[in-house]
Structure 1
Amino acid sequence: MNDVTEDLADQFRQVEAPRARKRLRRALRFTALGVSLALTGCGVAAWAVYEKLSNNIQSEDVGQALGDDRPAVPQANAAGERPLNILVIGSDSRAGTNKRLGGGREDGERSDTTILLHIAADRKSAVALSFPRDILVDIPSCKRPDGTKTWPERKQMFNRAFTYGGSACTIKTVEQLTDVRIDHHVVVDFQGFVNVVDALGGVPIYLPRAVDDKTGNIRLPAGCHLVKGKEALDYVRLRHDESIGGNGGDLGRIQRQQAFLSAMVQRVKSTGVLLNPTRLYAVLDAATKSLKTDPGLSSLGDLMALATSLRDLDTRDIKFVTLPNRPWPRDPNRLEVRKPEAEAVFAALRADQPLPDGRPRTITAAVDRTPAPGLPKVRVRVLNGADVPGEAKRVAARLRDAGYTVVAVDNAARQYARTQITYDPAQAQAARALARAVPDARLVARPSGSPVVTLVIGTDFTGVSADAVAPKASAVAQLPNPAPSIEARAADQAVCPAS
């Protein structure tokens, strides 16, 4: 019996007869026992709910497939906090119930939507950068889930990376393009999207004009609507209705997706989902069983810790932006990255600073690397034998970061299937030192009398080992002059215009 029930018993002892006191003590003992059992039952139930939600999440470990040749880990701020970069991938898989929702006869799996969510180190602002699926990018060699490798591809549609090598290949493509290190990834399919929207009770949208799209299978009058289920999915995937900016491309659709995500954020806040246990459970159940994540986000505890860290994040400080682009001159149905605007966005994300707003400024990225200690002086010539444009320059830059002296960069006379390090026997120590950076390379001793060690990049090249690169001084990037102004949508922007 606890202190509260004992105090109550003492008060009644002063006014009750002995028999009444005996009955009261028995009743209080049963009450205390009942409360204890109820609390124990609640604890068991809470643990069961936690386990169910955690078990809903599919874990996908892509660490080995990503390799070591990756962007630097951002340096922590004065409070010991680091920015967080999460790649959110919407899959267009038709497996299972997704066939009914997605329609069509498409085989395989592509990234229908890809968003890089950058959360500031102080957790008070965030940027959601959308990658058009039609934009042309270079896709690196990727390791597939079955252990085989893909060939590097040049000028390919962005969403093909997911087809070639799944989440890992999409992450490698984004990191190669942006030089921003991805900390976590999340994959959501059609059914998962529908489940979350329905758990929220629908999401409001606004149509400036009526939509009647037979290809997208959606018909709605102009005005504000609360969409649910397949109707919500059809709306965010709509590409062809010209009345709302659809022309078969991806840019109009991205704008609608950003508006829809803004509305979802507002919906969560306005309906008090986080304060209603029943609705919160429904949303969490829908969300968790729809997710495939890396091990770092694969439990409810991980997700709750992330959500808790964002409690002070205001919707007005969440910005949605599209990767700067322009039509590809050779095919207007494809897009290409628009530089230097895109690089200005990447630099801001790397430095954990606000998006460019048209004002000239210097961005300092906290990336800390120094040459590896004890590295002998190694003079290296880098030859591109992989037939991947720019690969030798990229590798040379990584080697310089690691403290190697790159004396020449060129193309090999032919294509090489195997990466190799060739050296004069007198340079054996230097060759072994270079092999620290490229551990998979084959060492080939050839008498030449040259003090230079040659790295020939083959088609099997997977990157420069992170172990060879220690921290160095912070990198500084100057925004172009005139500095670009990047158009962004804030998450607090009204969905339906005031009447």
Structure 2
Amino acid sequence: MTDYRSVPVVTSGQDYRAAPTQPGSRMARRAAAAAPPPPPDDRPPRGHRGGGSGGGQNKMRILAWVSIGVTTVMVAGALTGYTVYRDAFSNIKKKSVNSDIINPRPVDTGALNVLLVGSDTRAGKGNAQYGQKLARTADAGGKRTDTIILMHISPNRDKARLISFPRDSMVQIPKCKNETTKQEMPPRRAMINSAYSSGGIACTISTIETLTGIRVNHFAEVDFSGFKNIVDALGGIEICLKSGVNDKSSKLVLPPGKSLLNGEKALGYVRLRHYGDGSDIGRIKRQQIFLSKVIAKATSSELLTDVGKLRDFIAAAAGSVTMDPELANDTEQLIDIAMSAKQLTAGGVKLTTIPWLPDPEDKNRVIWKQPDANELFTSIKTDTEPATPAPSASTGTGTTTKPKVTLKPEQVKVQVLNGTKTFGKARLVADQLAKEGFNVIGVGNYEAADGKSLPKTEIHYAKAVESAPDHAGTLAGAVVPKPAPAEGKVAATNPQPYTPATPPTSTPPKGTPVIQLVVGEDFDSVKVTKLPDSVNNSTITASEQKSVCT
């Protein structure tokens, strides 16, 4: 039987999805993204992310976020009468990409995960003036995305997290079909946005799924024209500046204080490079505040109750966005997103930038900080189960039963046993539980009667302890997939005490039952609810940004 002892520490940063750090010259990376080659990137190096030039990420992040407002308000029309807006809905551009995704896909858990990307095509009136000289043509030699955002809406549709992936993240791009030739391109290490340049949205979806392990259910793309049209249809967005702006690069002149921006000025604002401390982080925070205001206005009662304004907005939005047909043709799903977004402005949308570190091979690029990034991904993967109402204390027959007790992880004592042939599994799972606050008191092994690995994870508790089922239920709710607790404990092989890296803040009282978690081959992970400081420090809450001046 395997033994947990003397096992080296293994972090989720060693997961196959993490971006490798092997070196590669910039020329080699560009060459690898060819066939056909992506459009030239004539922008200057962004430099270290503490202070930067480079505005591509800025202009695109807002475009992607506006897609949420687009889907939100388009379907609000359906709530006031689908017939009135039928023509507008039919104008949504659709693109089917499922046949172009050639990598194994993560399991669909039932959560709603939408990939939002912004295309920097210069097609459209007024768009050719933006960007570097070589990009000032109708098609700019191709399209790129400087923004990739994964929107996760919780099962109860009352919370959301939008994860921004910096365009200069060096990651492992999986094998993909070339968007134009349909020829298979081999895996390569490159900037994450090169997936879109050569393989389009299908390769971008594959890249995100491979790196994060999260199933992407739908996607939405929006371009410069779409961004400007949407902002104009909303009647503009009000921003607040601590100091005035006179920036030639973004073609923007604004006074200090509050300003109402139309689409053209808003595009200049999100492209603004020289303002504040000039840092990339400061610029990202300004954009996220702007995005939260877009969503607030797009879901406001003022717009939703004005049939004329709503119809105009839907018409502008529908012609500005490309979606997968499964989403574009599913009115119920769009309504679901719309109603979600309306709740989210009050309940709080969290906007997070992936925790990062400078790439050791190129300080102008970044890699994702591990295991922090993978813990963030796990929190999304495991946020799949809607909260259920507390059980009633009545049986419906005039008698009453004792209601279930809601326990915190700190109140649950756990012994973790390795029922698999994987060396060190008990300690790995114990570490995950301890991070989430569970009081892990021991580890060991479990020998099945047939000598084989246990196929499914089990939870056992002592039948004699009245409160044990409640403790077992709390533990079961933290494990993916969720095991069904069973009466009767099992014999542990080679049991040993467990000491967590960080001592628990409290100790359960004497007499607290010890619940056994026997890890089987089907074990995926412990649900992550306590995120690392690096994630929390790179997150803002949309509902708290109303009166913020930047």
TM-score range, shorter chain: 0.5 to 0.7
Number of residue pairs aligned between Structure 1 and Structure 2: 334
Q: Name the CA shift for 1:353/1:166 in 2 (closer, same or farther; >3 Å).
A: same
**Equivalent position SS for 1:122:** coil
What are the residue-to-residue correspondences of 1:414-425 with 2, within 5 Å? none
Equivalent of 2:97, from 55, 62, 71? 62
Report the CA distance between 1:316 and its aligned residue.
3.4
Superposition deviation, residue 195 in structure 1? 0.8
SS at match of 1:265: helix
Whether the 8 Å contact between 1:140 and 1:172 is mirrored in structure 2 is yes
Structure 2 counterparts to residues 95-494 of structure 1, below 5 A: 95-97=123-125, 99-100=127-128, 102-104=130-132, 105-106=134-135, 107-238=141-272, 240-241=273-274, 243-247=275-279, 250-270=280-300, 272-299=302-329, 301=331, 302-308=333-339, 310-352=341-383, 360-361=435-436, 473-477=522-526, 483-484=532-533, 486-487=536-537, 488-494=539-545
* Mean Cα deviation higher: 181-190 or 199-208: 199-208
Where 2:90 maps in the other structure, the secondary structure is helix
Report the Cα distance in structure 2 between the residues aligned to 1:201 and 1:61, rounded to whole angstroms.
32
Is the Cα–Cα contact under 8 Å of residues 98 and 189 in structure 1 kept in the other structure?
no
SS of residue matched to 2:543: coil
Q: Is the 8 A contact 2:174 2:206 kept in 1?
A: yes
User: Match of 2:265, as an amino acid?
Assistant: E
Deviation at 1:101, TM superposition (A): 5.6
Aligned residues of 1:205 and 1:260 also touching (Cα < 8 A): yes
1:315 deviates by 3.1
Q: Tell me: CA distance 1:299–1:135, structure 2 relative to 1, closer, same or farther (3 Å).
A: same
Change (3 A) 1:362 1:297: farther
Q: What's the counterpart of residue 370 of structure 1?
A: none
Q: 1:304 to 1:47 in 2, by over 3 A?
A: closer
Shift, 1:63, TM fit: 0.5
Cα distance change, pair 347–158 in 1 and its aligned pair in 2 (3 A): same
Counterpart of 1:298 in structure 2: which amino acid?
Answer: A
Q: Aligned-pair distance for 1:228?
A: 1.1
Deviations 1:257-316 (A, max 9, x none): 211111112223456211211111122111111110001121372423432455544533
Tell me which structure has the larger Cα radius of gyration.
1
| C-alpha separation in 2, matches of 1:495 and 1:309 | 19
SS at match of 1:225: strand
Percentage identity across paired residues of the two chains = 36
Q: Which residue number in structure 2 is paired with residue 85 of structure 1?
A: 113
For the residue of structure 2 that corresponds to 1:273, the secondary structure is helix
Q: Which contiguous aligned blocks of 4+ residues in structure 1 show a shift greater than 6 angstroms?
A: 478-482
Highest RCO, 1 vs 2 (Cα 8 Å, sep ≥ 6): 2
Instruction: Please state whether the residue corresponding to 1:108 is helix, strand or coil.
Output: coil
Confirm or deny: 8 A CA contact 1:115 1:130 kept in the other structure.
Answer: yes
Q: Is the 8 A contact 1:315 1:490 kept in 2?
A: no
Distance (Å, rounded) in 1 between the aligned partners of 2:230 and 2:529: 41
Contact 1:86 1:182 in 2 (8 A): yes
Scaled by the length of structure 2, what TM-score is found? 0.56
Of the three residues 49, 52, 55, the one matched with 2:87 is 52
Per-residue CA deviations over 1:76-105 (Å, capped at 9, x if unaligned) read xxxxxx310000101101123363363433
Q: CA RMSD in A?
A: 3.1
TM-score by length of 1: 0.61
1:110 positional shift: 0.8
Q: What stretches of structure 2 of length at least 5 have no aligned partner?
A: 1-77, 136-140, 386-433, 439-519
Q: 1:124 deviation in Å? A: 1.1
1:217-238: CA deviations, max 9, x gaps? 2222322221111110121122
Pick closer, same or farther for the CA change 1:174–1:120 going to 2, 3 Å: same
CA deviation profile, 1:170-213 (whole Å, cap 9, x unmatched): 11111111111100000000110111111111112222232232
Q: How many angstroms apart in 2 are the aligned matches of 1:47 and 1:121?
A: 26
Q: 1:150 to 1:236 in 2, by over 3 A?
A: farther
Q: Which segments of 5 or more consecutive residues in structure 1 lack a partner in the other structure?
A: 1-42, 75-81, 364-470
Give the CA deviation at 1:149. 2.8
C-alpha change, 1:478 and 1:269, in structure 2 (3 Å) is closer
Contact 1:124 1:314 in 2 (8 A): no
Q: Distance in 2 between matches of 1:60 and 1:266?
A: 28
Partner of 2:496 in structure 1?
none
